[in-house]
Structure 1
């Protein structure tokens, strides 16, 4: 067989969907490089992109081919559909050519239906029209968690048996070396701030988090990392002050080190199909307070302090509980977090993906 990959994600800003594609394909490339028999069964693998990315992926088994022409979804429906017409196609980012029938496509969540106001109308209209037919015509459908599988099955009118979980992971965060200068470079003190990560979407619930933080007595600074994402609506009413720092996008190595030096990590998201950032924090030994919502309880396990993300007072209570942890409580939270994050790994997700790639389309 041969395999084509929809690599449009290489030309997009990195959020959770793009992180999934980057890390999963990197792990698949390593797997193919270390398992010649598997590589022989899958055959040649080519990733197609509308233009060359600014940073080239360090793949050895996956070839990269540029097919210029249109852009965005039009490119997927035209240039990509033509380039991949005689191969099995893998799309990991919620979209792909509608008329390709030997297609493995990943959907990450049901945010479009759960919180439509988080998207601009063009994105919302296109994806609502696309995803149902795309899922029903696909050879295989992937998702990232059991919660996402249940929700997608309901929204897309698919039997759960047709949806395979190939989860996210967080072990990529540990490859970034420790940098003791990161706090000084951002004007912070090690252990003197709470950290959250999220784009500007209302779904990330940063406005409520800031409001809850303001209700705390003498809290550490709240640091927010994340930027705008194409197609997403922006939250309103957020502004920086002495107690609230909005850093925008930062390099991955800086994010890893900002996590390492944080007093705690807070994740107030209203809906998540998985939730990579709090799992990353747990993998680095950072205590977490998180929203009891979506896939987060299943993914994060017993480590976090939980709160209701729609209740500002309860978010404040969760942050205070995180800040007030004794040494023993903090050590227990860290140990549970490390153990929970170790349940996920990009290598094991890549092997599960390879099994799906080799599975024929169901009759």
Structure 2
């Protein structure tokens, strides 16, 4: 049976959802058995990765959700479609769909009105009509099942990883270019949506004494997501904006510690990226972060400014030995996750869907 990938993610800015889709697709290309036909479909020409086994095809006819519901549906309905980015054609007869989290229901204020309207109608239909459902953590599976009225066991857990960060070049001069002193700043990465909780982080940092390292925040605005009106920035906070990949790894590795204050995460790739690079992590005890990071982080309550102050101050006072233990624990935790293993899991699910489709056709005959 033919297999297609919904390649709309290749036309979108790179955030967590797009990272997942790109890395799973790239890993599929590395691990596909010989002779398997998998085609990535996109609505307009883009720069495709240098795949060896996957093929790519432009299927023009609309953009965005309109393209998915019409053109993509027509082009892929003779096979199995893998949709890894929270959306896909609802009429497709054999679709594997990944829904990443339940933020749409748990934090609706973080999304624009149009986005909420479209996805509140789309996701329940997709969830009920999909041949297989994926999500990135047990936390997300439990929340999605509750809001969508589905049994939790229907969700296959196919996790993110942070191994991609090791492919980026490490520019040790990146901190200096951004006005930072290597080893003497705290880093946070995230867009300025309310869920990322950066205003409270900045307020907590401002309440710390001067012995706490300055804070740098990297990240841009996510399309379709409401912008935070007040980022709560203070004098010792540097807002770096979206930084190129060539700078990102250098900023991570130059940081004394990484702070991730999100109110709710379906997984939390940036915190795991920091651990993958041996950076100590301070994290919000919320959403899937305790599940993903285990005992390797220094935890705080993301809704309490005073508890953030406590955690940041405690970290600033740690000696080299204690920080070394945090680094080792973080590296061990990051090693639990692999894009290749996740891609293999997706392929097993695709094979199961194909077997069920074949069985149904035989019964029909």
SS of 1:105's equivalent in the other structure is strand
Are 1:68 and 2:60 matched, yes or no? yes
Q: Residue 334 of structure 1: SS of its match in structure 2?
A: helix
The answer to whether the Cα contact below 8 Å between 2:276 and 2:335 also exists between their aligned partners in 1 is yes
* Per-residue deviation, 1:156: 1.3
| Secondary structure of 1:136's aligned partner | helix
**Could you state the TM-score of these two structures normalised by the residue count of structure 2?**
0.95
User: Equivalents in 1 of 2:315, 2:31: separation in Å?
Assistant: 39
Instruction: Report the counterpart of residue 197 of structure 2 in structure 1.
Output: 205
Paired residue for 1:214?
206
Runs of 4+ in 1 over 4 A off after TM superposition: none
* 1:189 maps onto 2:181 in alignment: yes
1:339 to 316, 329, 332: 332
Which secondary structure state, in structure 2, belongs to the residue aligned with residue 149 of structure 1? helix
RMSD value, Cα: 1.3
Aligned match of 1:8: 8
For structure 2, the residue ranges without an aligned partner over 5 or more in a row are 361-365
109-118 vs 221-230, greater mean Cα deviation: 221-230
| Residue of structure 2 in register with 1:277 after alignment | 270
CA distance in 2, matches of 1:241, 1:132: 42
Please name the residue that 1:303 is paired with. Answer: 296
1:255 aligns with 2:248: yes
> Following TM superposition, by how much is the alpha carbon of 1:346 offset from its aligned partner in structure 2, in angstroms?
0.6
Q: Number of matched residues?
A: 355
Asked whether the equivalents of residues 225 and 248 of structure 1 are also in contact (C-alpha less than 8 Å), the reply is yes
Aligned to 2:229: 236
Instruction: Identify which of 245, 268, 287 aligns with 2:280.
Output: 287
Shift of 1:241: 5.1
What is the DSSP-based 3-state SS (H/G/I as helix, E as strand, rest coil) of the residue aligned with 1:184?
Answer: helix
Shift of 1:272: 0.5
* Cα distance between partner residues in 2 of 1:323 and 1:23: 35
1:17 and 2:13 are equivalent in the alignment: no
Q: Under a length normalisation based on structure 1, what TM-score does the superposition of the two structures give?
A: 0.95
Contact kept, 8 Å, 2:185 with 2:257, in 1: the verdict is: yes
Per the TM alignment, residue 240 of structure 1 is displaced from its structure 2 partner at its CA by 5.1
Deviation at 1:87, TM superposition (A): 0.9
Q: How does 1:1-363 map to 2 (within 5 A)?
A: 1-32=1-32, 35-36=33-34, 40=35, 43-53=36-46, 55-218=47-210, 219-238=212-231, 242-360=235-353, 361=356
The alpha-carbon distance between structure 1 residues 212 and 240, as it changes in their structure 2 partners (threshold 3 A), is: closer
**Equivalent pair of 1:288/1:322 in contact (CA under 8 Å):** no
Aligned-pair CA distance for 1:239: 6.1
Quote how far apart the aligned CAs of 1:80 are: 0.6
Asked whether the 8 Å contact 1:264–1:323 carries over to 2, the reply is: no
Distance 1:207 1:90 in 2: 37
Is the CA contact (8 Å cut-off) linking 2:40 and 2:55 kept in structure 1?
Answer: yes
> How big is the shift at 1:178?
2.2
Distance 2:171 2:74 in 1: 46
**Shift of the alpha carbon at 1:281?**
0.2
Q: What SS is found at the alignment partner of 1:358?
A: helix
| Deviation, structure 1 residue 177 | 2.6
Structure 1 residue ranges without an equivalent (≥5): none
Contact 1:305 1:321 in 2 (8 A): no
Please list the CA deviations of residues 225-244 of structure 1 after superposition, one character each: whole Å capped at 9, or x if unmatched: 11111110111212655411
